[in-house]
Structure 1
Amino acid sequence: MSPVTPDQPRRSAAEVTADARPAGRARPAPRVPAPRSPEAPRGRAPLPVAAGVAAGWAAVTSWLPVTLVLGLAQLSEDAGSLTGAMRAGLAGWLLGHGVPLETSAGPLGLVPLALTALAVWRLTRAGVHVTRAVGARGSRSPGRALTVAVAVGIGYALLGAVAAIAVSAGGLRVSPIRAGLACAVVGTLAALVGAVRTTGVSVLLARRSPPALRNGLRTGLVAGLLLLGAGAGAAGLSVATGGGDAADMIGAYRTGVAGQAGITLVSLAYAPNATVWSASYLLGPGFAVGTDTAVRTSEVSVGALPAVPLLAGLPRGPVDGLGVGLLAVPVLAGMAAGWLLARRLVRIAAEERAALGWPALLAPAALAGPVAGVLLGAAAAASGGPLGGGRLAEIGPTPWLVAGVAALVVAAGALLGAAAVKALTHDTPTSRPTTSRPTTPRPAAPRPAAPPR
């Protein structure tokens, strides 16, 4: 009889008999719950619905900041209505997509590139979300990526046409057809970037493209971004130098603290334009702030300017003295990009135990010039436009001139930087070096014993 303990109380005879098992018979295996069936895959959203929702959300998130900023800029003693502020926000939103506005003073087509960057970013995210919603993530299908981009572009174009109709009802004249086409182009291209990355087509294209093309594109983009960074620094320094004039211009509007804050934010929306103009100034072609005007390192001829705080940093005259060193900035940017290219190729060659030849180095360095030229030329074309009729009908740099000079300067600088690194770096031998292993001396063989005499 088994002992009775607190953790094992006495059981009845019926329980003991029920638990009894014949000798030699094993207990049945414990029951294991059956594995759960895998969850059903999440349903895919229809492409028109996903594209429409994503395009609408991208439009709203890029339109609301514009409405807020323009609403602050219009604050004065006689505040406008909410409908007027919303219509002004739609007008600014269309202007950020490159749609000109016909006003009583002439066409207004100077695009605020900060707003353009915001809209492009939101559209890129729309392409990502639609690609995931339709189940095309990681498919590596160029056709599906293009389909997603076109669907987002169509939805965005319809919203642009509706916005143009709403703006035209308030006094401004905007072509709905042109607004729809501009929004379709911007929406399709931006959504295509997000769709290509999400589907994995970008990785596929990178693997199939020649190494010289990949390295040339990367180096050209680096050189162009370095030039734009130098332009941003120069523009910021100029505005800081003329900060007193800019403050006087803002105070002359007499719109109160909120209105002055709105005017400042509007000026910041055009800060990327000033960056491109400053880069064009450093390259040499310069830019115009009106008809028959020029702002270059060798010449500054401007007339009466509008009371815009961003124009307070314009140079007063040609570059002289220590300012001549600014002319070397574009060449230094190209040399820095070429140096980075050569360092990367040398490291890859060392890892692969191969020698880096001159053609593999100089070909992408030379290709970096046209790539940077196309980038800066496109930025110059987007940064200019009319600011009304009359003498302000021409503002900004000349795109083809900026592209040509940038291509030549960056190509020369990249070749110099890459060649310098190549000349100062020893080539790695193509043969894999043999590693010396420590060897233990072998014991000498015993000599045979001399035969007995």
Structure 2
Amino acid sequence: MTSLLPASRRSVREPGVERSDATHRRPLVLLATLAGAVAATVTLVVCLAAGVVGWFLTDAGAHGAPRDGLRVGALGWLMAHGSGVRVNGVHVTAVPLGLTLLCAVVVWRLGLRLGDSVSGHGPDADAIADGVRDWTVGSATALFTAGYLVVAVVTDRLAATPSTSPSLASVVVRIVLMCGLVGGVAVAVGSGRAAIWTSFLPVSLRAAAAAAWRILVWYAVLAAVVLVVALVVDWDGAVNVMSQLHTSPGAATLLIGLCALLVPNAAAFSGSYLLGPGFAVGTHTLVTPTAVVLGPLPMFPLLAALPDAGPTPGWTVALLALPPLVAAAASYRVLRRYPTDRWDDAALRGAGAGLLCAVGFAVVASLSGGAVGPGRMAQVGPFVFQVLLHGIATFGVGGLLGSLVATWRVRRG
């Protein structure tokens, strides 16, 4: 990123510096394409290894062959990118968000390194500030995405069968979105362009975006904590499910690993529950703080965290106060770093942060659900539109309150 520093701020180069700057001017096409392929291959190899281990743990390799475990691992990797799969004729569309999150983290890390490697391409910081067009980030992101897509297409061709039929079109769309958003932002940050571009944005917009991200992170932690508490309270139910399945130690280990991959999905369900609209675990079911309607459920340990069907205790309504409190606290912490003494500006920042957070959480909620089985289990997940509406109101009020308190502190001090 030294190539983006203004010329007046650069120090006098020493004999070995020119050689080190050459590392930031390697061919962009080669670097970006290779980085995208590596990002896809890293998580794919992890899934392939997990598939082979799972094949062996199931029955110590008595049935099938290692290639069957490899195929299952590859299909799991495709499912993390939204492919869906057919199991015994049943279409399963739910996405294991734990694996998707791992893919996004790898894309982010390699995107940062790619951004640093291509920071010497294109105009310098002074030229960018003067309005010179810079296609470095866009070109690197497009090539990064192309490399990722090549690995995905090859994986689909080798692992897909007529009986599983994963959707390659869905995989392509999800990869383009993930690499464009996560990878593109990482390249911009790593190359130093993001710091230049965001310096032209209004302070209020930057403050609202920072507060929205903090609210979303804190709320995700809160939802995960509530999920863990609910699971611990009914731990006996989860143990009872495991005992009724009569699984071997290897199969039990495999089931626990699957539960771990679905913890982010369950946390999104928990967050939807805290906002009020709740979620469904089958057709004509409802799980909210004020009402719980359940039907027959599959034997799965994570479902032990569900509340009992029927009337809910009176104290569960108090859980609806947690989201606005978290939003207010997070907004207050962030917006103290962007002080303002204007009430209208403070209201805009707080309400804007709540709106952005609501949209972000609604996107996560939409990714967390899907079909997980036949019949009534084809409808499992949060009620996304209602979650969005409640999130706008809840996070908006909390963000507004935190922003106003921060401004009051500024005016008072």
Q: Does residue 91 of structure 1 match 2:84?
A: no
Instruction: Please give the alpha-carbon distance, in whole angstroms, between the structure 2 residues aligned to 1:88 and 1:341.
Output: 44
2:87 corresponds to: 103
2:4 corresponds to: none
Which consecutive residues of structure 2, in runs of 5 or more, have no partner in the other structure?
1-13, 129-133
CA distance 1:168–1:36, shift in 2 (3 Å): closer
Greater CA drift, 391-400 or 132-141: 132-141
Deviation at 1:119, TM superposition (A): 0.5
CA distance 1:360–1:180, shift in 2 (3 Å): closer
1:65 corresponds to: 46
Q: Does residue 379 of structure 1 match 2:359?
A: no
The residue type equivalent to 1:64 in the other structure is: V
Which consecutive residues of structure 1, in runs of 5 or more, have no partner in the other structure?
1-34, 350-355, 429-453
Deviation at 1:179, TM superposition (A): 2.9
Which one of 222, 239, 243 corresponds to residue 231 of structure 2? 239
Instruction: Please give the alpha-carbon distance, in whole angstroms, between the structure 2 residues aligned to 1:132 and 1:364.
Output: 32
The correspondence of residues 14-93 of structure 1 with structure 2, limited to 5 A, is 40=19, 42=22, 44-74=25-55, 75-77=57-59, 78-93=62-77
Q: Larger relative CO (CA 8 A, sep 6+): 1 or 2? A: 2
| Contact 2:84–2:91 (CA under 8 A) maintained in structure 1 | yes
CA distance 1:125–1:224, shift in 2 (3 Å): closer
**What is the TM-score with the length of structure 1 in the denominator?**
0.78
CA distance 1:321–1:177, shift in 2 (3 Å): closer
The two structures, once aligned, show a CA RMSD in angstroms of 2.5
CA distance 1:204–1:269, shift in 2 (3 Å): same
Greater CA drift, 362-371 or 43-52: 43-52
Residues 132-183 of structure 1: CA deviation (Å, up to 9, x unaligned): 4445479566521111111011111121111111222484112334433433
- Rg larger for: 1
Instruction: Please give the alpha-carbon distance, in whole angstroms, between the structure 2 residues aligned to 1:95 and 1:299.
Output: 32
Which one of 143, 146, 150 corresponds to residue 138 of structure 2? 146
| Contact 1:235–1:274 (CA under 8 A) maintained in structure 2 | yes
Which protein is richer in helix relative to its size?
2
Q: Does residue 129 of structure 1 match 2:121?
A: no
SS in 2 for 1:110: coil
The correspondence of residues 359-370 of structure 1 with structure 2, limited to 5 A, is 359-370=344-355
CA distance 1:270–1:117, shift in 2 (3 Å): same
CA distance 1:291–1:390, shift in 2 (3 Å): same
SS in 1 for 2:266: helix
Deviation at 1:266, TM superposition (A): 0.9
| Contact 2:119–2:192 (CA under 8 A) maintained in structure 1 | no
The residue type equivalent to 1:327 in the other structure is: L
1:418 corresponds to: 403
Deviation at 1:288, TM superposition (A): 0.8
2:11 corresponds to: none
Q: Does residue 336 of structure 1 match 2:329?
A: yes
Which one of 301, 323, 326 corresponds to residue 316 of structure 2? 323
SS in 2 for 1:42: helix
CA distance 1:127–1:170, shift in 2 (3 Å): same
The residue type equivalent to 1:128 in the other structure is: L
1:396 corresponds to: 381
2:8 corresponds to: none
Residues 403-451 of structure 1: CA deviation (Å, up to 9, x unaligned): 11111111112222333454466545xxxxxxxxxxxxxxxxxxxxxxx
CA distance 1:255–1:420, shift in 2 (3 Å): same
CA distance 1:420–1:174, shift in 2 (3 Å): closer
The residue type equivalent to 2:263 in the other structure is: A
Instruction: Please give the alpha-carbon distance, in whole angstroms, between the structure 1 residues aligned to 2:335 and 2:27.
Output: 48
CA distance 1:268–1:416, shift in 2 (3 Å): same
| Contact 1:73–1:260 (CA under 8 A) maintained in structure 2 | no
1:215 corresponds to: 207
SS in 2 for 1:115: helix
Greater CA drift, 102-111 or 124-133: 124-133
CA distance 1:419–1:135, shift in 2 (3 Å): closer
CA distance 1:36–1:231, shift in 2 (3 Å): closer
CA distance 1:334–1:150, shift in 2 (3 Å): same
CA distance 1:157–1:344, shift in 2 (3 Å): same
The correspondence of residues 236-315 of structure 1 with structure 2, limited to 5 A, is 236-315=228-307
**What is the TM-score with the length of structure 2 in the denominator?**
0.85
SS in 2 for 1:208: coil
Instruction: Please give the alpha-carbon distance, in whole angstroms, between the structure 1 residues aligned to 2:235 and 2:109.
Output: 37
Deviation at 1:46, TM superposition (A): 3.1
SS in 1 for 2:98: helix
Instruction: Please give the alpha-carbon distance, in whole angstroms, between the structure 1 residues aligned to 2:300 and 2:86.
Output: 20
Deviation at 1:38, TM superposition (A): 7.0
| Contact 2:54–2:254 (CA under 8 A) maintained in structure 1 | yes
| Contact 1:95–1:112 (CA under 8 A) maintained in structure 2 | yes
Greater CA drift, 174-183 or 322-331: 174-183
CA distance 1:331–1:319, shift in 2 (3 Å): farther
Residues 335-386 of structure 1: CA deviation (Å, up to 9, x unaligned): 213322453344xx6xxxxxx1212222101111211111111111111111
CA distance 1:254–1:59, shift in 2 (3 Å): farther
| Contact 1:341–1:365 (CA under 8 A) maintained in structure 2 | no
Quick one: percent identity of the two aligned structures?
Answer: 26
Count of residues in Structure 1 that have an aligned counterpart in Structure 2: 386
